[in-house]
Amino acid sequence: MTTQQNTCALYRALPKIDDLLGEDRLTEACQDAPRALVVEALRSVLDDMREAISRGELCQPATIDEVVEAALKEIAVRQAPRLKRVVNATGIVIHTNLGRSLLADEAVEAVAAVASSYNTLEYDVEAGERGSRHDHVEALLCEVTGAEAAMAVNNNAAAVMMAIACFARGRDALVSRGQLVEIGGSFRVPDIMAESGAHMVEVGTTNKTHLVDYERATTEQTGLYLKVHSSNYRVMGFTSEVSLVDLVKLGDARGIPVLEDQGSGVLVDLTHYGLPYEPTVQASVAAGATLVSFSGDKLLGGPQAGIIVGRADAIARLKKHPMARALRLDKMTLAALEATLRLYRDEERAVREIPTLRALTMSVEETAERVDELMKQLTSASLAADFAAVDDVARAGGGSLPLTAIPSTVLAITPNKISVEELERALRLDGPVPIIARIHENRLVIDTRTFVHDDADVVIAALRAALSL
């Protein structure tokens, strides 16, 4: 037979979709998956096989079993959620790619409660009439930050954009050259200014900006002073910035509002937990900022949101801005935010129950105990690898506490039969839950600081599978 004839025979030997649908295992699959999806999966498997034949990669006729097997895999892939749980073993607590902050149990319960029931989103039960969605978090935000008024929108980028648009569209917004930062995920101050319709006026220099720089640049056209917390980098050495208090004094004298983009949204004094001082929202409010904005899912440890607190008249203007409607929060986020903020009424409870704070403040001893526990279970399983508990550092991530190395004891794995790259890949791809770890000095490093629920069991099962003798 010529190659040509052989290829034709291979094409012809491929089973027909209608015949395959009669196969028991696929009929069963049709009970869980829509029939159209099963047909699509079969079509895609057969297309792949035809291509393999045309490239000369498939030289034997495919059996029905092989096609069914491939189709079942394809169906499983198509049915599986894309957005799904992973184990964060990176030691980066606020990992933007892995969903930033996890919600406290109370917040998860609050989300579930409003998600599946009608609720008071915009209804005032007492008055029996329409209410405002802002009310659910405003009083709490005022209580925990000391501000007069507050609101929350989709994220901090949105909050900053809306505030600039509201106070400086078509006017000048002054910002120090030392604060023209880019924050991960493409938040760039000059771009946000441009999109908000404000004319950005840069003052001072990269390393030093003085109050007189703001004074000189202030004109009739000035609508806003913007102060940006350079969360993810530090200018060191010969530097100076104008303090918020001084900027507020100038703003009050000239009738110009001051917006501080605080970024991380810290509500507790982190120095009480052995971490470096990070300016708190309360401190910015006390310094008199007209508006302070911050993320809900960074150091606050809540859902994705952009929170703005500040003076009552300024917040009232923001609430009426058309962008406030476009950027408003949904009921699930509001429920999660309300529950998270409630925990801050008792700082000890907040640190214990908000996963982000708990992970950040976990002692190095506790991480060592966790690694000990893992090692016990792994060494008793006689696996093809060497395990060691080593000193390492975790990071806050999310542009918070950028220079802070948080001491962590981690599990370092040197595989004996496969390469460390193969092990990294196996943990990421082979199990039911992807495990995201990093390679350091040719060892796979697992930081347990960010483990929750049964993450440790997931990791042990995956290591047993990947490293069996």
Ligand X SMILES: *Cc1c(COP(=O)(O)O)cnc(C)c1O
**DSSP classification of residue 100:** B
CB of 294 to ligand X, least distance (A): 8
Number of helices (H), then strands (E), belonging to the chain: the values are 20, 18
User: What are the backbone dihedrals phi and psi of residue 136, each rounded to the nearest 5 degrees, phi first?
Assistant: -65, -30
- CB nearer ligand X, residue 218 or residue 284: 284
Which residue number has the CB closest to ligand X?
263
Please name the helix (run of DSSP H) or strand (run of DSSP E) that holds residue 306, with its range, or none: strand 306-310
- CB nearer ligand X, residue 87 or residue 102: 102
Helix (H, G, I), strand (E, B) or coil at 53: helix
- CB nearer ligand X, residue 157 or residue 341: 157
Half-sphere exposure of 165 (CA within 13 A, CB side): 19
- Two structure tokens written together for 247: 């900027």
- CB nearer ligand X, residue 264 or residue 448: 264
- CB nearer ligand X, residue 56 or residue 276: 276
Cα separation, 135 vs 461, whole angstroms? 46
- CB nearer ligand X, residue 45 or residue 162: 162
Alpha-helical (H) ranges within 86-220 are 105-115, 135-145, 156-168, 189-196, 211-217
Alpha-helical (H) ranges within 199-278 are 211-217, 244-254
Q: Which residues, at least 6 apart from 450, have a Cβ–Cβ distance to it below 8 Å?
A: 88, 89, 90, 91, 92, 93, 95, 359, 394
Alpha-helical (H) ranges within 354-433 are 355-361, 364-379, 420-429
CB of 185 to ligand X, least distance (A): 6
CB of 68 to ligand X, least distance (A): 46
Cα separation, 146 vs 319, whole angstroms? 19
CB of 76 to ligand X, least distance (A): 34
CB of 242 to ligand X, least distance (A): 17
Residues lying near ligand X in the complex (CB under 6 A) are found at 155-157, 183, 185, 187, 228-229, 231, 261, 263-264, 295, 306, 399
- Exposed / middle / buried, residue 462 (Cβ in 10 Å: 0-12, 13-18, 19+): buried
CB of 247 to ligand X, least distance (A): 16
CB of 400 to ligand X, least distance (A): 7
- CB nearer ligand X, residue 162 or residue 427: 162
- CB nearer ligand X, residue 41 or residue 137: 137
CB of 146 to ligand X, least distance (A): 21
